[in-house]
Chain A
Amino acid sequence: MRDPYDILGVPRGATEEQINAAYREKARALQDSGAGDGQLEELNSAYDAVIMQRASAGGRYTYAGAYSGNDYADIREKIRANRLEDAQVLLDGIPDARRDAEWYYLKGTVQQKRGWLEEAASNFARAAQMDPDNKTYRAASDQVNQTRSGGYRTERRSNGDSGCSARNICSGLLCADCCCECMGGDLVPCC
């Protein structure tokens, strides 16, 4: 693999802000020029490599979107591409003080995809509590509660019962009877 600093086009001593700016600029340029996913992928992993290297060296870092308020486009993109570990690292890099409802929602999404359902549930609940007007957070939290009480079960069982249930036979008979009566006959004499 090429040197991640070369890919980002910054010197090794670059500050965090320079790295973030370079990453944003390059990513935008690649997207505008319609470059293939391969190049974008390379840029992403170079950025991650640099960030992780610095994080493990002990310094705190802030991820690229964090300067214009919290804009989570990168993290969303990583979640969409199922790069959950990366998304988790970026999310955890955002300091406690800046964690808003969206942060909790995204954290919950990552955890839900990883199968950590209890923590996902509490993060969804927290997101919905912090921003009660947001429909997405509310829906995620409600769905968890509905699933907890077993709401999916009846729906699933009734789906399996299509075919010869008593109700289906009855309605079939009624229907056939109506048709017969239209033509002057009678299939079920009592109705």
Chain B
Amino acid sequence: MLGYVRAFKPELKLREYEIYRGVYCSLCKALGRRYSPLAQLFLSYDFAFAALLRLAAADGGCSFAQSRCPYRPAKKCLRCEQTALFDACADALIITVYYKVVDDLRDPGFFSRLRAALLFSLVWLMHRKAAKASPEAERAVAEAMEQQRATEQAGQAGIDAAADASAQALGALASLDAPQAKQPALRTLGYMIGRYVYLLDAADDLARDRKRGAFNPFAQERIDTPEARRAFAARVRGMLNLTQRAALDALDALQAPRFGEILENIVLDGLDQSAARVLAAYEGGAQKTKRFTVE
């Protein structure tokens, strides 16, 4: 995943920010413990969201202990004590990274293939362990990749069909091991987040994909004049809004017993920020400084 799903800090309370950081640190720790310190290189805030979502929906409470980070010993951080849950998240992360690397190996560009080949040698062994530990996650992601490849080979697919595979995979990952009653909402929420990220990433990579002749669901869109670019950005924003609204509805249906505010911050403000960052390139006048308004 690509760093689009993250909290928007100015709107977080200190307490929420501490917990969010704590979840991130706990996932990092789980990666180091279960795989190797090299696995920590793959850590991203997207998976901190995935872990937070699992924590929020899990039965029973959630406890934290203060500890220190070996990379930044001066700074204390919270560490979550529900280690089994973080191990499962770490597995899902490794599986996702592995399939992303496998996908990059088929890339048309030489350098990205070279990079993927290096990463592949790094992640291959880790993936074997992860696939054995979480067969369901492995199946979900593998199926999604298969479906994605079939869609891409079929040529020009509709937006919905193109986004379906990765959205399905995220839906499956989000609802794995969750309490039965929460599963439908988690699946929908995961689906919508996956769809959002897919659409945003496709818009982000449009120019690059076009140059290299790679598949992109927006390939038919015109972005040659400033007006066309602005119109394209508006259309993408409309699609993203529809998806975000569905994600928010799923979040309401989830009725998370804890961390609801942080999740809402990520799904509403966090995604908005990512969309603004990507679409600024099409709307003209790229934002160099981050802006934040208080009404």
Which residues of A come within 8 Å of B, CB atoms? 111, 115-119, 121, 144, 147-150, 152-153, 156-157, 160
Contacting pair A149 B238 (CB below 8 A): yes
Contacting pair B192 A119 (CB below 8 A): no
Q: Which residue of A lies closest to B265 (CB)?
A: A160
Q: Say how far A153's CB is from chain B's closest CB, in angstroms.
A: 7
> Which of chain A's residues have a CB closer than 8 A to the CB of B264?
160
> Which of chain A's residues have a CB closer than 8 A to the CB of B192?
115
Counting CB contacts under 8 A, is B286 at the interface? Answer: no
Which one, A111, A148, A152, contacts B238 given CB within 8 A?
Answer: A148
> Which of chain A's residues have a CB closer than 8 A to the CB of B167?
115
> Which of chain A's residues have a CB closer than 8 A to the CB of B159?
118
Counting CB contacts under 8 A, is B268 at the interface? Answer: yes
Q: Which residue of A lies closest to B268 (CB)?
A: A156
Contacting pair A115 B246 (CB below 8 A): yes
Interface of A is mostly: helix
Given A152-B245, A156-B248, A156-B268, A118 and B164 touching (CB < 8 A)? no
Contacting pair A119 B160 (CB below 8 A): yes
Q: Which B167-212 residues have C-beta < 8 A from chain A?
A: 167, 188, 191-192, 195
Q: Which B125-162 residues have C-beta < 8 A from chain A?
A: 158-161
> Which of chain A's residues have a CB closer than 8 A to the CB of B242?
117-118, 121, 144, 147-148
Listed A/B pairs (13) with beta-carbon separation below 8 Å: A115-B167, A115-B246, A116-B160, A117-B243, A119-B160, A121-B242, A144-B242, A147-B241, A147-B242, A147-B245, A148-B238, A153-B268, A160-B264
- Name which of A111, A150, A157 has the most chain B CB atoms within 10 A of its CB: A150
Which residues of B come within 8 Å of A, CB atoms? 158-161, 164, 167, 188, 191-192, 195, 237-239, 241-243, 245-246, 248, 264, 268, 272
> Which of chain B's residues have a CB closer than 8 A to the CB of A121?
242
> Which of chain B's residues have a CB closer than 8 A to the CB of A153?
268, 272
Inter-chain CA distance A95–B165, complex, in Å, is: 28
Q: Say how far B41's CB is from chain A's closest CB, in angstroms.
A: 32
Contacting pair A117 B239 (CB below 8 A): yes
Contacting pair A152 B239 (CB below 8 A): no
Q: Say how far B246's CB is from chain A's closest CB, in angstroms.
A: 7
Q: Which residue of B lies closest to A157 (CB)?
A: B268
Q: Say how far A94's CB is from chain B's closest CB, in angstroms.
A: 21
Which one, B164, B237, B248, contacts A152 given CB within 8 A?
Answer: B248
Known contacts A118-B160, A119-B160; 8 further A-B pairs (Cβ under 8 A): A115-B164, A117-B195, A117-B246, A118-B239, A147-B242, A147-B245, A153-B272, A156-B268
Q: Say how far A131's CB is from chain B's closest CB, in angstroms.
A: 23
Inter-chain CA distance A118–B188, complex, in Å, is: 16
Contacting pair B158 A118 (CB below 8 A): yes
Task: Enumerate the 8 nearest inter-chain pairs by beta-carbon distance, A residue then B residue, closest first.
Answer: A116-B160, A148-B238, A117-B242, A147-B245, A118-B159, A115-B191, A150-B241, A152-B245
Which one, B160, B161, B237, B248, contacts A117 given CB within 8 A?
Answer: B160
Q: Say how far A82's CB is from chain B's closest CB, in angstroms.
A: 8
> Which of chain B's residues have a CB closer than 8 A to the CB of A111?
160
Q: Say how far B292's CB is from chain A's closest CB, in angstroms.
A: 13
